[in-house]
Structure formats: C-alpha cells, structure tokens
Amino acid sequence: MTSHISGLTERFALAETMARTAGATALDYFKRRETLVIETKNDPQDVVSIADREVENLIRAAIASAHPDDGILGEEYGLTAGTSGFTWVIDPIDGTSPFVNGMPNWCVSIGVLHEDVPVIGVINAPCHDEHYAAALGHGATLNGKRLAIDPARTLRNAVTGIGANNYVTPASVAKMVENLLNAGGNFIRNGSGALMLAYVSAGRLVGYVEPYMHAWDCLAGYCLVKEAGGKFRPFPVAGEGITQGAPVLAASETVFEELEIIAGFAPVNKPVL
C-alpha cells in the first residue's frame, strides 16, 4: 500500500538527503570531539555540544527553505509551529553521551508527522555506515534493503532494548529489568533510544521500551517499526503534548502486549497503532 498524502514524497527525499548530510557533519565533529566544549543539561549525564546545535541548525535551514510552512520540533531549539499539517521532529545527535565519549552508538534522527501521525522516519548512524528510512505506505529499508520484522522472534529467543534516564526512578527501571529477566528475556542499552528503535525495525531487537522519552527521540523510529510490520504505543503529539515526554514502546506484534505488561505501562485511551 502506498500513501497518497500530497507532499510526502518530496519531504521523504529531503529527510533522506538531510539525514545523510547531517550525519556526515556530525561524524566530522565526532572525529575531532576533543575540541568540543561540552555542556550539561538536566544532570551530568545529559550533555550537549556545538555539534548538536550546528547539526540541528543545518537541518532546520533546509526544511525552512524547502517547506517554509512546515512546523519543526528539535531537541536543541524547541518547537516552531507550522500551518501545512506537517511537523518535522529532529534529534540532531541522539546518543550525545556516547558521542562525546568516543563510542559509535549515536545517530541523526529525522521524523515527520502529518496531522499527528508519524509518516516519515529516517535514522542515519554514520559510525556504522547505516541509513534507515521509512515513509507511510512505502515500507522500511536499511541501506536500501527492505526490512520485515520476524513474528517468530520472542522475548525469550531474542533481545529487548531498554532505555533509562534521570526522568524516572532507578527502582522503576530495575523492576522492568527484573520482570524481563524473570520472563526469560535479556536486554541491552546502548545509549541511543532512536538507534535501538531502528534496531527493532531491522529485527536486531524484538522490542524497545523506555519509561520516559521525548518525541524527537522516538517518532522517526516509530515510523520505521510500523513500516517494518511492528507496533508502537501512541505518543501524545497533539498540541503542547509533543514537547513533553511519555512512555515509549515499540515491538513486533508477537511480543507487544507481553512487553507492555513487563514495562508496567498503564493502558492508553486509544488503540495502539
């Protein structure tokens, strides 16, 4: 099935181009990261650098030039409202902590909403030479190869991604890990929620769960997972909700409900997409 949303194809092409361009720019900074001035945000583990800001500005400028009526939400510069029905959701460098510490698990994440629905998701991981791309009705790909989630994978014969941050208590994360291990599963955390969501779409992880995540971290990955045949927990993108955090869960249909119970997430008021 293909989408008939007017303007989607052009925005998908721009998202792919800018993710690659931004990825190359970020990689250049990564190779000379000892020159960066690192600042902290909410706590010593929540960091930002000039690389994050320059990459976001690069993406914002391209969007504003090509689609000036589109909204843009970025991690570093917040929300700029639009009138077209499209909103771009950008994390210029997801996994800044791995980035500044010399580890390869970071990425550029670009998502697009249309009337509050994730319709484009592009994630570029330069250190791994990997480019994930999806658009509504067009499927998901990794370096051009079509992705399809395997329904035979379970929590017990595959690996689950788990995220954590200073917005949630250590006890709540520990309980989630305990529940997963008791169910016979195993987990990883690599420092980039967006990249782990991309891994769900590629079948490397059977699911990803995080108690509190922002839209710029998850919406591109949500589109990838959906187009690869998985499910995701709705994110409250309407109005100012898009600027706030929420629980995130994306997984194969096989394990979604079980993982939701393990995570201890309360039911949502609308159907899971």
User: Hey, where are the domains in the chain?
Assistant: 8-146, 160-263
Tell me: pLDDT of 46 over 70. Answer: no
Which amino acid is residue 261, in one-letter code? I
User: In angstroms, rounded to a whole number, what is the distance separating the alpha carbons of residues 49 and 96?
Assistant: 8
Which pLDDT band, with edges at 50, 70 and 90, does 11 fall under? very high
Q: Which two tokens stand for residue 73?
A: 């939400």
| Across 81-100, average pLDDT | 94
225-268 confidence digits (pLDDT tens) = 999 999 999 999 988 889 999 999 999 999 999 999 999 998 76
Band the pLDDT of 47: cuts 50, 70, 90. very low
Fold match between domain 8-146 and domain 160-263: no
Q: What is the largest CA-CA distance in the chain?
A: 52
Burial class (CB in 10 A: 0-12, 13-18, 19+), 108: buried
How far apart CA 209 and CA 260 sit, in angstroms, is 8
Angle at 11 between CA 7 and CA 13, to 5 degrees: 120
pLDDT digit string (tens) for 129-188? Answer: 999 999 999 999 999 999 999 999 999 999 999 998 888 899 999 999 999 999 999 999
Which residue type does 248 have? V
CATH number assigned to the domain with residue range 8-146, chosen from the 4 options 3.40.50.11890, 3.30.540.10, 3.40.50.300, 3.40.50.970: 3.30.540.10
Q: Measured in Å, how far apart are the chain's first and last C-alpha atoms?
A: 16
Q: Which residue has the higher pLDDT, 270 or 248?
A: 248
State the pLDDT at residue 44: 42
pLDDT of residue 271: 47
CATH topology for the 160-263 domain: D-Maltodextrin-Binding Protein; domain 2 (3.40.190)
Average pLDDT score over residue span 210-233: 97
Q: In what order do the strands lie in the sheet with 139-142?
A: 78-80, 71-74, 86-94, 107-114, 117-125, 130-135, 139-142, 145-146
Is residue 96 within 8 Å of 44, Cβ to Cβ?
no
What pLDDT does residue 97 have? 85
